[in-house]
Structure 1
Amino acid sequence: MNIRNIAIIAHVDHGKTSLVDKIIHATQVFRDNQETGELIMDNNDLERERGITILSKNISVTYKGTKINVIDTPGHADFGGEVERVLKMADGVLLLVDAFEGPMPQTRFVLQKALGLGLRPIVVINKVDKPNCRPDEVHDKVFDLFFQLDATEEQLNFPTLYGSAKQGWYNTSLTQTEDINPLLDAVLEHVPEPAVSEGTVQMQITSLDYSSFLGRIAVGRVARGVLREGQNIQLCKLDSSLVRGKVKELYVFEGMGKKKVAEVAAGDICAVVGIEDFQIGETIADYDNPEALPVIAIDEPTMNMQFSINNSPFFGREGKFVTSRNLRDRLYKELEKNLALRVKDTDDADKFLVYGRGILHLSVLVETMRREGYELTIGQPQVITKEIDGVKCEPFENLVVDVPDEFASKVINLVTIRKGEMLIMESKGEMQHLEFDMPSRGLIGLRSQMLTATAGEAVMAHNFSEYKPWKGVIPGRNNGVLVAKQGGTSTGYSIDKLQDRGSFFIDPGEEVYGGQILAEHIKPGDLSVNVIEGKKLTNMRSSGTDGAANIAPKIQLSLEECMEYIQQDECIECTPQSIRIRKIYLDENDRNKYSKTQKVS
């Protein structure tokens, strides 16, 4: 059977998962009367809540007698590791570009990886139904991007399709058609069949699946030979050692599920059951003549955070897994499938350094662990510095901001304060398109400030570019915080009296403990306050003295906002039901000693 392997790559929110939906419907994977909903591939709770793709997933459809393996990839730069590993399974890519926004930072990143692997691109200019869209101009910008990334002559001669995943049509011109068949025809015409070399069996594991019935399942593309059920194989490990094994069961992807088969020929993507203790990047090879494929190269992490056990007074109230051993086992288990992550033990057995691609990458891990019943404390995110030719260097990112004209000066001011340098400023209809080169440190906490300054109108995206010399001190949070003096249940009476001192993160009636951060102070510097004091009741009353408490609703910070908000002497307590910000040292005397040592150092 003819096979085509394609990956769909694009910047976040340019319509990848919506396009996969249309491919699924066009090839009649579901019955006509079957209820499917939207964004079918985003089947993880976190993905549905956030409206983003976090994990790469593959499905298989059949069109005109040809099997097409489709791989849906994430669009956020933080999940770039997912894209890097699955591109090895593809022979061609559908590069989606928004007809209004044009190529964005993640477009450049994923395209560079695809071109480097020699994949054939098909450019799809999506969302041409949007007002103010500029498909012809975007097409020219995409060509310029290909040229900048040193595409070959063959890759520069890419076919282009226009259309709208929402309306369900694509065409080689801007003329609207009835369906997406022209896109599927372009895949058959321009994506080559899998290149198959002669020799013994080889399959690189690029993804893993898990079944409570079958255990861990290795997923990858057979690069050479034929893999058969019951076949004895050797697993070529990352450390060059060999482990003997046997293929118990083989599955190929069919529609949204898998189908059991007796053998899989080179070029097809399959799932292998029965191999123990494998890692992504290892090779399933012939028993008698094992040959390993080159290991998947993944970009290094740029940020780290300290994970430790929850040592607050509320320890163990909500979570099932609270010990350092539980935490360590879970973090090392995550390394099996999350290639861009690193975990390092510290001198303290209760603390671990976790390295990732960015705040979103790390926060998704924390959120997943919370939902699984873990309690943990996480520290302030720190960028990873390197010494290059004797010079201290830090990661820099390419930041792109689209914002209405009237807010452009505020955005430029905010970024410049954080050591950013403007590279490009151009008009896109009523919007200003701004591009900056800035240290990754400067991005921490920038999103919330920018949304406040632009009345929520700014659209920002960023992507790691390179390491450059250290830029010096970047100003942090201007305001201090209000810290609880002692534990107890907060009262409306106390919060009402303290409202003019700051904006609260708690409501009356919530339990607090000493050292917990309750509010943002209106001035620099921290202040210890008592929020558990109740109104003294007497038998004397006089009219007009007892005004009703008028308390503003609390500020609800998400996990990412908390991570961007905290300073060096603060941390976040994460439990299955609560996220609290607290001081590292809960006792006020310990905090004073710590601040004195910081000033001396």
Structure 2
Amino acid sequence: MQIRNIAIIAHVDHGKTTLVDKILHATHVFRSNQETGELIMDSNDLERERGITIFSKNASVTYKDVKINVIDTPGHADFGGEVERVLKMADGVILLVDAFEGPMPQTRFVLQKALQLNLKPIVVINKVDKPNCRPDEVHDAVFELFFNLDASEEQLNFPTFYGSGKNGWFNSSLTPCEDITPLLDGILQYVPEPKISEGTLQMQITSLDYSSFLGRIAVGKVTRGSIKENEPISLVMADGTVKKSRVRELYVFEGMGKKKVTEVLSGDICAVVGLEDFNIGDTIADFENPEALPVIKVDEPTMNMTFGINNSPFFGKDGKFVTSRHLRDRLIKETEKNLALRVEDTESGDTFMVYGRGILHLGILIETMRREGFELTVGQPRVIVKLIDGKKAEPYENLVVDVPQEFASKVIDLVTRRKGEMHVMETKGDIQHLEFEIPSRGLIGLRTQMLTNTQGEAVMAHRFTEYKAWKGAIPGRNNGVLLAKDNGTTTGYSLDKLQDRGFFFVDPGEEVYKGMIIGENNKPGDLVVNSNEGKKLTNMRASGTDAATNIAPKTVLTLEECMEYIQQDECIEVTPHFIRMRKSILDEDERKRVQKSMKAEEV
């Protein structure tokens, strides 16, 4: 049977997962009466809630007696580690681009990886049914992007399809047709069959699956030879050591699931059960003459955070897993399948340093852990600083902002204050397209401020470019915070009296503790307030005076917003049902003592 392996790459929200849904339906993977819902491939709860793909996944369909392995990849640069290894399994890529927005920075990031691996591209311009879309301009922009990324002559001669994933049609021209068969025919025509080289077995493990029944499962593409059930094999590790092992069971992908087989020939993607202690990037090779494939290199992390046990007064009230042993085991387990993540021990046995690709990357890990029942404390995200030629260097990012013209000056002002430099300014219809180069530090806390200043209209995206010279201090949060004075329950009476001091992150009737951040001060500097005071009751009553507290509703921050909000001496307490911000040192006198000693050291 002929095989085609194709990865689908696109920026967040350009309709990648919807396209996969249409391919699955068009090739009759499901029974005609089967309920499938939307976004079939985004199986993880977090993916469905946020509407983004985080983990790459495989599905397989059969069209005109050709097996097409479809690989859905994440669109976020923060999940770059996920994308790079997945592309190793593909022989061609579908680059999906929105007919209005055109190619975005993260499309560029993934496309660059695909072109370097010499994959054959097919361009699909999606959402041509949207008002003010501009498919012809977008096609030119895509060609320019290919050219800028040093695509070969053959890659520049890419086929283009237009259509609407939502309405279920794709065609080689802008004329609507009935379904997506022109695109499926295009995949068979333009994507090459897997290259099969002569020789003994070689298969690189490019992703992991886990089953509580079968244990860890290795997934990858057989690049040479064939692999059989029950066959003895060699596992060549990244450091060159060779372990002997045996294949217990073999599966290939079929539809959304897997099918057990006895042999897989080269060119197909399969899942291998029965191997012990393997890592992503290892090679499954011939038992007697093992030959390793080149090790997968993943981009370095650019940000780190401290993860520690929850040591607040509310410790253990909400979560199941609260000890440092639980925390350590969970983080180590995550590094096995999350390649761009690194974990290191610190001097304290209760805290760990976790390195990741960005705030979203680390935020997804924290969110996943809290849903599993963990309680933890996380510190402020910091960029990783390196010494290059004896000089201090920090990571820089390419930041792209699309915003209505009336807000463009506010955006430019915001970004330049954070040491960003503007490189491109173009007008697209009534939208201003701005591109900046900015230190990664400048992005922390930028999104919230930008949405506030542009009435929620700004669309921003960024990707890591390189390490460059340190840019100096960047102004952080201007205002101080309101801190709870004592443990207890907040009352409407005291919050009402404190409203002129700032705005609150808590409502009346919430449990708070000493040193917890309950609001933002209107002025610089922190303020300790008594939020738990009840009204002194007398036997004189005036009708209606007790009910006359008009308190503004609390401001609710998401986990990522909290990570961007906190300063160096603050941290976030994360439990399954609560996200609270607090000072790292809860006692006010102790905090002042530490600040004094730090100032004395600086002098």
Taking structure 2 as the reference length, what is the TM-score of the superposition?
0.99
Alpha-carbon distance, 1:85 to partner: 0.9
CA distance in 1, matches of 2:86, 2:547: 63
Deviations 1:347-391 (A, max 9, x none): 111111100010000000000000111111000000011111122
Alpha-carbon distance, 1:239 to partner: 2.0
Alpha-carbon distance, 1:111 to partner: 0.7
Query: Structure 1: 5+ residue runs without aligned partners?
Result: none
CA distance in 1, matches of 2:402, 2:171: 28
CA distance in 1, matches of 2:545, 2:18: 60
Q: Indicate how the Cα distance of structure 1 residues 184 and 538 shifts in structure 2: closer, same or farther if over 3 A, else same.
A: same
Alpha-carbon distance, 1:595 to partner: 2.1
Alpha-carbon distance, 1:288 to partner: 0.7
Alpha-carbon distance, 1:334 to partner: 0.3
Tell me which amino acid in the other structure corresponds to 1:106.
Q
1:170 corresponds to: 170
Alpha-carbon distance, 1:541 to partner: 3.2
CA distance in 2, matches of 1:542, 1:350: 55
Aligned sequence identity (%): 76
Tell me which amino acid in the other structure corresponds to 1:228.
K
CA distance in 2, matches of 1:438, 1:33: 52
1:431 corresponds to: 431
Alpha-carbon distance, 1:597 to partner: 3.3
SS in structure 1 at match of 2:336: coil
Q: Indicate how the Cα distance of structure 1 residues 335 and 108 shifts in structure 2: closer, same or farther if over 3 A, else same.
A: same
Deviations 1:244-276 (A, max 9, x none): 111111000000000000000000000011111
Query: Is 1:161 matched with 2:166?
Result: no
Tell me which amino acid in the other structure corresponds to 1:96.
L
CA distance in 1, matches of 2:532, 2:200: 73
Alpha-carbon distance, 1:141 to partner: 1.0
1:343 corresponds to: 343
Structure-to-structure mapping, 1:577-596, within 5 angstroms: 577-596=577-596
Tell me which amino acid in the other structure corresponds to 2:125.
I
2:325 corresponds to: 325
Tell me which amino acid in the other structure corresponds to 1:357.
R
Alpha-carbon distance, 1:596 to partner: 2.1
2:556 corresponds to: 556
Structure-to-structure mapping, 1:212-223, within 5 angstroms: 212-223=212-223
CA distance in 2, matches of 1:545, 1:7: 66
1:60 corresponds to: 60
2:539 corresponds to: 539
CA distance in 1, matches of 2:346, 2:238: 24
2:470 corresponds to: 470
Query: Is 1:440 matched with 2:447?
Result: no
SS in structure 2 at match of 1:335: helix
Alpha-carbon distance, 1:542 to partner: 4.7
Deviations 1:86-115 (A, max 9, x none): 000000000111111111110111011000
Deviations 1:308-333 (A, max 9, x none): 11100111111111111111111010
CA distance in 1, matches of 2:511, 2:85: 45
Alpha-carbon distance, 1:594 to partner: 2.3
Query: Is 1:519 matched with 2:519?
Result: yes
Q: Indicate how the Cα distance of structure 1 residues 598 and 428 shifts in structure 2: closer, same or farther if over 3 A, else same.
A: farther
2:51 corresponds to: 51
CA distance in 2, matches of 1:320, 1:361: 24
1:307 corresponds to: 307
CA distance in 2, matches of 1:224, 1:399: 41
SS in structure 2 at match of 1:271: strand
Deviations 1:127-175 (A, max 9, x none): 1111111111111111111111111111111111111111111111111
Alpha-carbon distance, 1:12 to partner: 0.9
CA distance in 1, matches of 2:142, 2:389: 36
Larger deviation: 534-543 or 195-204? 534-543
Alpha-carbon distance, 1:598 to partner: 3.7
Q: Indicate how the Cα distance of structure 1 residues 198 and 534 shifts in structure 2: closer, same or farther if over 3 A, else same.
A: same
Alpha-carbon distance, 1:80 to partner: 1.1
Structure-to-structure mapping, 1:88-487, within 5 angstroms: 88-487=88-487
Tell me which amino acid in the other structure corresponds to 2:191.
V
Q: Indicate how the Cα distance of structure 1 residues 271 and 543 shifts in structure 2: closer, same or farther if over 3 A, else same.
A: closer
Tell me which amino acid in the other structure corresponds to 1:174.
L
Deviations 1:493-535 (A, max 9, x none): 1111111111110111111110100000011000001111111
Tell me which amino acid in the other structure corresponds to 1:329.
D
Q: What's the C-alpha RMSD, in Å, of the aligned pairs? A: 1.0
SS in structure 2 at match of 1:223: strand
Larger deviation: 234-243 or 576-585? 234-243
Alpha-carbon distance, 1:547 to partner: 5.9
Deviations 1:571-599 (A, max 9, x none): 00001111100000000011112222343
SS in structure 2 at match of 1:89: coil
Deviations 1:19-77 (A, max 9, x none): 00110011010011111111110010101111111100010000111000000011111
CA distance in 2, matches of 1:537, 1:271: 71
CA distance in 2, matches of 1:8, 1:544: 63
Deviations 1:279-300 (A, max 9, x none): 1111111111111111111111
CA distance in 2, matches of 1:164, 1:486: 58
2:39 corresponds to: 39
Tell me which amino acid in the other structure corresponds to 2:375.
E
Deviations 1:389-418 (A, max 9, x none): 122111111111111111111111110110
CA distance in 2, matches of 1:543, 1:178: 70
Tell me which amino acid in the other structure corresponds to 1:124.
V
Tell me which amino acid in the other structure corresponds to 2:583.
K
Larger deviation: 534-543 or 504-513? 534-543
1:528 corresponds to: 528
2:493 corresponds to: 493
Deviations 1:217-239 (A, max 9, x none): 11111111110000001111122
Alpha-carbon distance, 1:543 to partner: 6.2
CA distance in 1, matches of 2:430, 2:257: 45
CA distance in 2, matches of 1:144, 1:179: 29
CA distance in 1, matches of 2:20, 2:543: 68
CA distance in 1, matches of 2:186, 2:280: 32
Alpha-carbon distance, 1:124 to partner: 0.8
Query: Structure 2: 5+ residue runs without aligned partners?
Result: none
CA distance in 2, matches of 1:110, 1:65: 30
Tell me which amino acid in the other structure corresponds to 2:570.
E
1:70 corresponds to: 70
CA distance in 1, matches of 2:437, 2:394: 13
Tell me which amino acid in the other structure corresponds to 1:553.
P
SS in structure 1 at match of 2:88: helix
Tell me which amino acid in the other structure corresponds to 1:120.
K
SS in structure 1 at match of 2:498: helix
CA distance in 2, matches of 1:567, 1:444: 11
Q: Indicate how the Cα distance of structure 1 residues 36 and 545 shifts in structure 2: closer, same or farther if over 3 A, else same.
A: closer
CA distance in 1, matches of 2:517, 2:544: 33
Alpha-carbon distance, 1:4 to partner: 0.2
CA distance in 1, matches of 2:532, 2:8: 55
2:21 corresponds to: 21
SS in structure 1 at match of 2:500: helix
SS in structure 1 at match of 2:366: helix
CA distance in 1, matches of 2:187, 2:206: 23
Deviations 1:160-210 (A, max 9, x none): 111111111111111111111111111111110000111111111111111
